[in-house]
Structure 1
Amino acid sequence: MKKFVIAVSAIALATTAAFADVIADRKAVMKENGRQVGVLVKMVQGEADFDAAAVMAALTKLNENVQAIDVAASFPPGSDKGDTTASPKIWEDMAGFQAEVDKFKAVTAEAAAAPAQSLEALKPQVAAIGQSCSSCHETYRIKKG
């Protein structure tokens, strides 16, 4: 019986640790996405000078991160528990969530394929990226505070 309790405890601990890693991984991706979008937003808001090379680098990195998102691997059942702002709606409507991620993938791929060469061209790209982020976060993220 003692061995059984230890085995069950070990499995529970491993499962908890695995979900913690999944949560940490997806938080790291989102944080990196925020950094890259931040580079672009600063230019659009006039807080930084337009820099075509920086735009290309930010869009390339953002697109790489977004294209690598695997909803099933990043949001497995049970990973809604713990230190996360992922809404339970993700697991209630996985198809809707996947559709939002797919839209984000399309928007970032389009922007990365034709990085803006001017501030005026960057504005609609940033608006489209921001709209996609907001649309998903509105439904599938728990608001902080």
Structure 2
Amino acid sequence: MRLRSAFLFTGLGALAFSVAAFAQGDPIQQRQEAMKAIGGSMKTLGEMAKGVKPYDGSAAEAAMGRIHESIAGFTDLFPEGTEMGGDTEASPAIWEKPEEFKADADALAAAAAAALPEVGKGLDVLRASMGSVGGACKDCHQSFRIKKN
């Protein structure tokens, strides 16, 4: 039984590595996965902040941690030549104004870093953090995202 488990875990590990390696070769897919992680985490935090879901400090910390982790290095996922292709909502402004794009991403990173040690301390703290984190998301999306219908 142990041998079978070892093979199962080895196989699952190899599969996970293959998926990760594939994603590493495709910056469009990588940035979409990062945005999905950030969006899912914002949904979790927003639902807690609005009272749709009960507040859970550990879940709030985990969600904010995913945002902080996902935004790190995010702007590196927009190299020249990835403006087109895939099902992307990336605006051409990303490549036209890379410094502004980086500043917006850095603003989210800073807001998430400041909120990370705090969001687990209570619902009121989470709600206060959502303004800066959500505002950073909104600012970047207004300038650098093309919303598809």
**Which TM-score band applies after superposition, normalised by the shorter structure?**
0.7 to 0.9
1:112 matched residue in structure 2 = 116
Rounded Cα–Cα distance in structure 2 between residues aligned with 1:61 and 1:143: 23
Return the alpha-carbon distance in structure 2 between the equivalents of residues 112 and 67 of structure 1. 14
| Aligned mate of 1:35, from 40, 43, 54 | 40
How big is the shift at 1:109?
A: 0.6
- Give 1:102's match in structure 2, choosing from 102, 106, 128: 106
2:52 counterpart (38, 47, 50): 47
Structure 2 match to 1:81: 84
| Greater shift in the superposed pair: 88-97 or 122-131 | 122-131
- Specify which structure has the bigger relative contact order, considering alpha-carbon pairs within 8 angstroms and separated by 6 or more residues: 1
The alpha-carbon deviation at position 112 of structure 1 amounts to 0.9
Where structure 2 has 5 or more consecutive residues not aligned to the other structure, the ranges are: 1-21
Q: Which amino acid aligns with 2:67?
A: L
Deviation track 1:73-129 (CA, whole Å, cap 9, x = no partner) reads 300112110121100001000011011111111001101132242211111211211
Work out the CA distance in 2 between the residues paired with 1:78 and 1:68: 18
Asked if 1:137 is matched to 2:141, the reply is yes
Mapped partners of 1:80, 1:26: distance in 2? 12
User: How far apart, in 1, do the equivalents of 2:130 and 2:41 lie?
Assistant: 11
Structure 1 segments, 4+ long, off by >4 Å, are: none
Give the RMSD, CA atoms, in angstroms: 1.8
Counterpart in 2 of 1:93?
A: 97
Matches within 5 A, 1:1-20: none
2:26 counterpart SS class: helix
TM-score by length of 1: 0.81
Gaps of 5+ in 1: 1-16
